[in-house]
Amino acid sequence: MNLENLCFEVQGIAKIAGLFIAEEREKFNLDTIEVKGKANFVSYVDKQAEQLIVDGLRDLLPGSGFIAEEGTGSSSDEKYKWIIDPLDGTTNFIHSLPPFAVSIALMEEDELVLGVVYEVTQDECFFAWKGSKAYLNGEEIKVSVASTTSDALIATGFPYTAFEKLEGNISLMRHFMVHSHGLRRLGSAATDLAYLAAGRFEAFYEHGLKPWDVAAGVVILRQAGGKVCDFNGNNEFLFKGEIVASNSAYFEEFYAIVHKHFL
């Protein structure tokens, strides 16, 4: 399989979905929102964008499986699985607030091998594949070289479930408010990871996540020189629902801080 060629085809699919999302945002009606849970929304835009993506990916890689936020397609024991978030940042989208993004990753067996994050509002397409550099709109990107909390701008997210970790989260936010350049909460984990890969952040952490929130961004971040793990330092971030991510220079210090507060 030629992952480079496949990645460029996936970018095209992501941009088609992104164009649909952008066009629908101009005429979107709040009455069409469905509530999946507290502060967890879905609309016809999510569902139709996902169908566009799945249809396109089926043609690219027949016989592959799908792990998709809105349940389009299916997955069992396929060698190749697409992990899809058609609209990461739905709450932002319904409020006309950037960012929101299309996120598409490919997993071969248990390994993430390709990732595309298309941030719709800025027309920024981040992408990478196994063995490649990381790119933004065709230009190479790399993580920052800042190595300490005092030089770091940190991204995070606020969960709408899993509130049992709330005290640790508040304690950790307090630490970074005092000791870092500051905290940012954009509302799209896929975008957070892509921005981290581009050197706009030094680090990112969050819990209560799903595989489709982070899969593509992790591929891009790793190929840009970053590192990821779960809150215990293991490689179970994809399905465990928690992630610690940063540039390589800051990773050990950052992980130790997050781990301490979430013990």
Q: pLDDT of 48-57, one tens digit each?
A: 999 999 999 9
Residue 74 has pLDDT above 80, yes or no: no
Q: pLDDT of 116-152, one tens digit each?
A: 999 999 999 999 999 999 999 999 999 999 999 999 9
Q: What is the mean pLDDT of the chain?
A: 93
Which CATH number is correct for 149-261, 3.30.420.40, 3.40.190.80, 3.40.50.720, 3.40.50.300? 3.40.190.80
What is the token pair recorded at 21? 């999302």
Q: pLDDT of 149-166, one tens digit each?
A: 999 999 999 877 767 778
Nearest Cα to Cα of residue 192 among 260, 92, 259, 110: 92
Report yes or no on whether pTM surpasses 0.75: yes
State which fold the 3-140 domain adopts. Fructose-1,6-Bisphosphatase; Chain A, domain 1 (3.30.540)
SS3 226: strand
Domain with CATH 3.40.190.80 in the chain: 149-261
Domain with CATH 3.30.540.10 in the chain: 3-140
Q: What is the pLDDT of residue 192?
A: 98
Q: What is the pLDDT of residue 73?
A: 73
Residue 36 falls in which region: left (phi positive, over 0), alpha (psi -120 to 50) or beta: alpha
Give residue 29's pLDDT band: very low, low, confident or very high (50, 70, 90). confident
Q: What is the pLDDT of residue 37?
A: 52
Burial class of residue 177, CB neighbours in 10 A (0-12, 13-18, 19+): exposed
Residue 58 falls in which region: left (phi positive, over 0), alpha (psi -120 to 50) or beta: alpha
